[in-house]
Chains A and B, each alone.
Chain A
C-alpha cells in the first residue's frame, strides 16, 4: 500500500480505500492485497462473493468453471451479459468482475474442481498452490471435498432459493486485533509504583479548601479538574485504610455501592451547579473499572495452546510473541501474573496538562512492558535460529496492546464433520435439546446434510433438479435426513422445520435466487476478509441463513 504523501494528505489509494482503512488499517489492507482467491463454480453467489473482495482490493482472483453461459445464468448473475451467451462462464465472469477494480489481477481457468484435482494437482497442493483462499460453491460431492488439503482455508457455500449455508475449514486461525469495544485496562486495583506516586501527589491537598491565592489548599477549579482515575486511586487507598474496614479493596456488589457513596460524599457541592463533573465521572466508573486485572478466557486459550509451548523455527510471529507474553505473565520480575498493559485511557474531565501527564504514566508502563516482551521475543528467536531482530518492536507493541483479546480458533476439517464424529454428534444433540430447538437452524442443517448426501449419491445433481416427479426426490431427502439423525443418535422423526426446509430445497432444485446469492456474497465476503486480515472474529464454523424468517444460526460442526 502506498504511503501518505509528505504533507500528510492521503495518496490516491488511501483516498479510494478510505472508508475501509478506517476499519482494518494499512496492516489489514496489505494482507488483503497479498491474497489470491480461487472460486470454483462461477455461480451468482460465487461472483457476488468475489465482487465484495475485488472492490476492497484483494490481490488476485481466479475463476474456475467449466460451463458455458446459458440464458438462465443471465437471470441470476449480474456479472454476465447477453454478449456472454455461449461463451465460457469462467472467462466472461472474470472479465466483468475484473472491471470492478483495476488494481486487482483477474485470472480464469475453464475447468471443473474434479478435473483440477486429478489433472492439475499442483494447483491444490499446499506447497505449490498459488491460491491463499478457496471458495467453493456447491454442489460438490463429498469425496471431492475431502481431497482438498486442510492446509488451505476453504469456504464452502450452498445457496438454494431463500436459503444458504457457509462452512469454513481453515488451519489454526490466530487474531491479534479482534476489535473489541474497548482495550482500556486501568489497573485501579493493581496500580504500579509510578501510578500510585502520581495519584498521591495530585491528591495531596484534595481535602484542603484554598482560602487565598498561593496557600497549599486546592481551589474549586483545581478540585473540579482532578482526573477521575486519580480520584478513584486515592479513594480506593483511603477505603482500604478506613478504621472500620478490613484493609481490602471493595469487591462485593454491596461494597462497591458503598464505595460509590464514599466517593460521592467527597464531592464539593458549594460550587456553581452544585456538583463536580469529575466526581460524577468517578462515581459512574466504579462498577465498570474498579476490578482486578484478569487474564481473559480467550487469552488463556492462546497462551495455554500447544502451539505456544512448542515454538519452532516454523512458528509464525504470533506464536513467538505469544510465548514471550506468557513468559512475561509468569515471570515474577516481569508481569508477575498480569499481562502487558494496553496503555490507553478514556477521555475524562481534566486540565490538558494533568490529563497528558496521567496518559504518559500509562503509555510509559505499556512501553516498558512491551520492551520486556521484546527481550523475551529476542531470546526465543535466537533459540530457534532466527534473527533476534526479525520481529519489529511495533509488531510486539500492537500484540501487547491486544494481549487480553487474542484469539486462536481451530476450525474442524470437513472430514470430522462429514464422518459424524463424536464431537459432531454431541453438538447436534445439544442443539436439539435447547429450548428453542423447534425454530433453531439446526433443523436446516439436517436438511442441508441430506442435500450433501443427495448430491454425492446422484453425481452432483441437486434434489428437485429433475424432469421427473419432485416427490421422489423429497422422499429420498427425508430418508437421508432420517438416516443422518439415526447416525447422530437423535429422534428419527423429522421436525416440522426440517421437513419445510427439505421442501424448499427440492422446490428450488438447487437453483440460486439472485437476492439470496447477493446476501450470501456479502456475508461470505465479510468472513473471508476477517480471515485474510486476521482482524475481527470469524464465525466458527458453519453459518446458516434463512431468508424466509431473516434469521442466522452458527454451529461448530
Chain B
C-alpha cells in the first residue's frame, strides 16, 4: 500500500479505533490531534488508555500505544486544539478523518478544508470523513469539500436540545432537570459571583446537586440524582465501545476506498441504528443551495437603507441560522466595523450610527466574521424599497 500522509482529528472514542484501524490497514504516516486529557470515564471504550494514564494527553498516549503494538507505523501526536493549526498544516495530508465531539470544532474543520480548495490545484481538495455516535446509534459521512454536501449544509439536521424558558427555571420548575439548570444557570452566579463553574470539578457538581435537590424538595419534584446533575450540566451523551467500533471502521473503510480507489466510496452519508435490530440507511445528502460555507454565491439579505449599522448588526444577531456574537463587517471598499483590535474598533466605531445607505450601495457584498463563525459569511445586502 502507498504511504499516506494522513491525519485524523481526535483521539477519543472514535479516534482510538481509527488509529488502530489505519495502522493495521497499512497506513504508515498518521497524525493525530486532540486537546483532551484522559478521564476515568473514557476507560469504558477508549481502549488505548489504562487507569494509570488518567490525566495524560490522549493524543500522545494513543500514538505511543499504537506504535508500540503495530510495527512500521509512525504516528505524530499533537496535544492541542485543531484550531491551533492552519491551512499550511492541513495541506500536507491526503485526507482528514474527524471523530470530534463538538459542533463548533466540526464546523471549523469543515470550513477550513472548504476554504483551502483551489480549483487550479487538485491536491488542495482534502476529503473529510466525519463520524459521530450516541448510544447504540451513529453516523459516518464523506465530504468532498466544495464538491459534495458539507457539514454546514446539514447543520439543520441537528436537533438541538430545546432550551427551557428562563421563567420556568426561575419560578415554575416541573422536572428534575429544571431544578438542575436553575442551580447551574441562576443560583451559581448569584451565590458564587464571578467564580467560574467547572463542570469537571466534583465539588462544583456536588454543590449543584445539593442545591437542585433542595429546590426539587421545595416544589415536590422527585428524581434529582448526582448522575442526572452531571448529565444535564455537562450535556453527557452516552457512549459505548461497540458503537465507536462500528462508526470508526466505517470511516476507515471509506478512507481506504478513497486512497486506494479499490471501489467507489460512500455517497455520502450512512446512519446506523442499533436500538431495535440492526438498521442502516445510506443516502446522498445534497448540497444546500446558498450554504454559507460551500455555496459559491453570497446569500441575499434584505435590509432597509435607513437602518443604522448598529441596528443592522443587532438584527443579524437575532438570526438563528447565523449565530454571531461579536461580528466584524467589511465590504470590498471599506472597513464597516471591527470588533477588535482596539485601535481598529475605535476607528470604525463611528460607523455604527451611520445609515446603511451612507455606507454601501444596495446589492453590495458584506463579509462578516465572528468568533462564533468558523468561516466568513457573505451577504448581498439589498435595500428594500
Binding site for B on A (CB under 8 A): 4, 7-10, 12, 14-23, 48, 51-52, 55-57, 74-76, 78, 81-82, 99-102, 162, 178-179, 225, 347-348, 350-353, 355-356, 513-516, 518-519, 521-523, 525-527, 529-530, 536-540, 543, 547-552, 554
Extra contacts besides A518-B20, A521-B245, A530-B274 (11): CB < 8 Å:
A8-B209, A12-B40, A19-B41, A51-B241, A57-B44, A178-B276, A351-B172, A352-B221, A515-B252, A515-B256, A554-B277
A sample of 29 inter-chain contacts (CB < 8 A) reads: A7-B226, A17-B44, A19-B41, A19-B238, A23-B240, A52-B240, A55-B44, A56-B44, A56-B240, A57-B44, A75-B24, A78-B20, A78-B24, A78-B70, A350-B174, A351-B172, A514-B21, A514-B24, A515-B21, A518-B248, A519-B253, A522-B243, A525-B241, A527-B278, A536-B274, A539-B278, A550-B266, A550-B282, A551-B280
| A554-B278 in contact (CB<8A) | yes
CB-nearest residue of chain A to B254: A550
Give the residues in chain A near B230, CB-CB below 8 Å. 18
- Given A81-B69, A515-B249, A526-B243, A549 contacting B282 (CB threshold 8 A): yes
Which single residue of chain A is at the shortest CB-CB distance from B218?
A352
Q: Mark B226-265, 1 if CB is under 8 A from A, else 0.
A: 1100110000111111111111111011101000000100
Q: Which of A76, A347, A539 contacts B24 (CB 8 A)?
A: A76
| Residue B312 CB within 8 A of the other chain | no
Stretch of B29-37, B45-53, B314-322, B360-368 contacting A (4+ beta carbons < 8 Å): B45-53
Is the interface on chain B under 10, 10 to 19, 20 to 34, or 35 or more residues? 35 or more
Count of chain A to chain B residue pairs whose CB atoms are closer than 8 Å in the complex? 187
Q: Are B209 and A537 within 8 A (Cβ)?
A: no
CB neighbours (8 Å) of B20 from chain A are 78, 514, 518
Nearest residue, chain A, Cβ from B248:
A518
Q: Could you tell me if A356 and B41 are in contact, using CB atoms closer than 8 angstroms? A: no
Give, as a whole number of angstroms, the nearest-CB distance from B40 to chain A: 5
The answer to whether A356 and B221 touch across the interface, beta carbons within 8 angstroms, is yes
- Check: B270 CB closer than 8 A to any chain A CB: yes
Residues of B within 8 A of A352 (CB): 172-174, 219-221
Q: Give, as a whole number of angstroms, the nearest-CB distance from B277 to chain A.
A: 4
Whole-angstrom distance between the Cβ of A527 and the nearest chain B Cβ: 7
Asked if B130 is at the interface of the complex by the 8 Å CB criterion, the answer is no
Contact assessment for B244 and A522 in the assembled complex, using a CB-CB cutoff below 8 Å: yes
User: Nearest CB to that of A360 among chain B residues?
Assistant: B220
Task: Kindly provide the distance from the CB of A160 to the nearest chain B CB, expressed in whole angstroms.
Answer: 15
Taken together as a complex, chains A and B put the C-alpha atoms of A101 and B275 apart, in Å, by 25
Task: Determine whether B374 belongs to the interface, using a CB cutoff of 8 Å to chain A.
Answer: no
In the assembly, what is the distance between CA of A283 and CA of B277, in Å? 34
How far, in angstroms, from A162 to B256 measured CA to CA in the complex? 11
> Of all chain A residues, which has the CB nearest B213?
A8
- Given A16-B40, A55-B44, A356-B221: A522 and B249 within 8 A (CB)? yes
Most-contacted residue by chain A among B20, B231, B240, B279 (CB, 10 A) = B240
CA distance A269 to B328 in the complex (A): 42
In the assembled complex, the CB of A236 is this many whole angstroms from the nearest CB of chain B, namely 23
Task: Judge whether A538 and B277 touch: CB under 8 Å.
Answer: yes
> Are A8 and B226 in contact, CB atoms less than 8 angstroms apart?
yes
CB nearest to A181 among chain B residues:
B275
